[in-house]
């Protein structure tokens, strides 16, 4: 299993998350066309193709216009993804009225990305917002979620698994799937269906897999911590299957997601994160430390990561958003530091980041991660890291060095590879081969090529 996941990570890591989702949706579109040609679903290939073209064009064009109004760089791939999702939500009819309303839905989705936004990112899933607005304003254009057809399910399962694995949200997706399936099954049984028929309906006649893998998993609309994501999966799973209403607004799949997005927004850092570039420091020939001054205090714990957004010209396939571990300790409120390793050739994002001038402001879209220190500061810790794992461990060392754990030692062992290993231990005893400590190493720790440094 480890070999398979490593292969899958290597395969999917070659493209950005947006492109991976786009490729997955195109695969689902191709599958829907194939089963349509075989007569396995009630929709013809031409209406599906025309609906997809209208939804994508309307979303892309309106997205560019709205971005121009807000003076930001448009994200074309994101707009295409939204347009394709809308294609699978609204029934594909080849009539001027249906296509016109589908185009309106695309415009609503684009506008919501900029109007219903916070922290420099959209709060709600754009396609879900468009579906909610259309179902309320134009009840005759009610989303059918035809992507839940049984014959499309095999490809949807594969795409959902790949996306959930890539985003590290597989556990969240499974929790949602189990809860939503159970609730839908019980609801059907309460209406007179047998248990087998109710379960079959939940699995084969609902978009639960597409919902979990494509829509609920969107990183920008999730809370930062894993336990929060699991709780959100339970809440949305219940709303997915239980009938509810607010006055004349009745519960739907898309409304369940919008409510979940709102809860996730309040669970995260609600204020916008703006970082002013303070300077860079070269640590090794290919390693840099970048320092930023936040416009306002940023809440984070040692070991967490921050997603930076840096629109730049000629962006490569890795995109304009990248995630970096925070190198500074949680007690450092006036500065946020990141470690950066470059290669030849370097990505366009890292090149743009290293080219920043002091005072230049960039946006951070999220703070998250669960590689944090335990609440019990008396527990002994051993942190073993290599490569990109060194940065969060370094931040943890910096935080451990503060009271109430004054006797903290962080160790580094020799490694023949370019990537060194970092071993950090938090205890009342001294440790050998330390890389961050407030005390000088004992004489026996300086033998055998071991090194000792002070601070981080």
Q: Decide: helix, strand or coil at residue 311.
A: coil
pTM: 0.80
Do 278 and 195 share a structural domain? no
> Does 311 lie in the same domain as 171?
no
58 to each of 84, 143, 161, how far by Cα in Å? 11, 17, 29
- How far is the CA of 96 from the CAs of 51, 92, 225, in angstroms? 11, 11, 45
Q: How many CA atoms lie within 13 A of 320 on its CB side?
A: 16
Do 356 and 227 belong together in one domain?
no
What pLDDT, on the 0 to 100 scale, is given for residue 414? Answer: 44
Phi, psi of 423, rounded to the nearest 5 degrees: -120, 125
Q: Among candidates 260, 96, 229, which has minimal Cα distance to 164?
A: 229
Query: Residue for token digits 């005893």?
Result: 429
Residue 221 sits in the same domain as residue 96 = yes
List the structure tokens of 157: 């399962």
Same domain, 337 and 393: no
Is 454 contained in some domain? no
Number of domains in the chain: 3
pLDDT value at 57 more than 90: yes
Residue 135 domain-assigned (yes or no): yes
Task: Reply yes or no on whether the pLDDT at 430 is more than 70.
Answer: no
Residue 272's φ and ψ, nearest 5 degrees, are -65, 145
> What pLDDT was estimated at residue 392?
74
Task: Provide mean pLDDT across the span 11-33.
Answer: 92
pLDDT confidence band for 416 (50 / 70 / 90)? very low
User: Could you tell me the residue range of the domain that residue 390 belongs to?
Assistant: 381-446
Mean pLDDT along residues 34-63: 97
Mean pLDDT, rounded, for 189-205: 90
- 233 & 356 share domain: no
């Amino acid at each position: 299993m480890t070999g398979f996941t490593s292969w899958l990570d290597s395969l999917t890591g070659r493209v950005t998350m947006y492109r991976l989702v786009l490729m997955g949706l195109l695969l689902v579109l191709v599958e829907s066309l194939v089963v349509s040609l075989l007569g396995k679903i009630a929709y013809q290939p031409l209406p599906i193709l025309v609906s997809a073209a209208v939804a994508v064009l309307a979303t892309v064009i309106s997205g560019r216009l709205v971005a121009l109004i807000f003076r930001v760089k448009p994200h074309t791939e994101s707009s295409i993804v939204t347009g394709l999702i809308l294609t699978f939500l609204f029934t594909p009819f080849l009539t001027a009225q249906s296509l016109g309303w589908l185009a309106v839905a695309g415009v609503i989705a684009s506008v919501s990305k900029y109007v219903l936004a916070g922290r420099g990112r959209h709060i709600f899933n754009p396609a879900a917002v468009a579906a909610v607005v259309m179902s309320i304003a134009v009840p005759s254009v009610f989303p059918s979620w035809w992507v839940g057809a049984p014959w499309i399910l095999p490809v949807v399962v594969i795409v959902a698994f790949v996306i959930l694995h890539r985003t590290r949200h597989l556990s969240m997706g499974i929790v949602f799937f189990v809860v939503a399936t159970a609730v839908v099954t019980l609801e059907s049984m309460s209406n007179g269906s047998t248990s087998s028929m109710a379960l079959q309906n939940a699995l084969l006649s609902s978009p639960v897999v597409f919902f979990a893998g494509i829509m609920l998993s969107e990183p920008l609309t999730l809370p930062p911590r894993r336990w929060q994501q699991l709780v959100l999966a339970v809440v949305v799973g219940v709303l997915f299957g239980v009938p509810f209403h607010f006055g004349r607004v009745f519960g739907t799949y898309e409304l369940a997601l919008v409510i979940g997005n709102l809860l996730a927004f309040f669970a995260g850092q609600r204020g916008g994160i703006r970082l002013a570039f303070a300077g860079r420091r070269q640590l090794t020939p290919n390693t840099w430390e970048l320092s930023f001054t936040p416009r306002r205090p940023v809440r984070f714990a040692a070991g967490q990561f921050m997603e930076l957004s840096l629109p730049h010209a000629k962006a490569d396939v890795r995109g304009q958003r990248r995630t970096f571990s925070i190198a500074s300790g949680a007690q450092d409120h006036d500065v946020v530091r990141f470690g950066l390793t470059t290669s030849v050739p370097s990505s366009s994002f890292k090149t743009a980041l290293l080219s920043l001038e002091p005072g230049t402001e960039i946006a951070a879209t999220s703070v998250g991660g669960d590689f944090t220190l335990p609440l019990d500061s008396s527990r002994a810790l051993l942190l073993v890291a290599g490569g990109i794992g060194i940065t969060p461990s370094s931040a943890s060392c910096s935080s451990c060095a503060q009271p109430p754990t004054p006797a903290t030692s962080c160790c580094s062992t020799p490694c023949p590879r370019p990537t060194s290993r970092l071993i950090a231990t938090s205890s009342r005893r001294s440790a050998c081969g330390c890389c961050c400590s407030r005390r000088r190493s004992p004489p026996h720790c300086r033998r055998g090529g071991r090194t000792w440094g002070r601070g981080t």
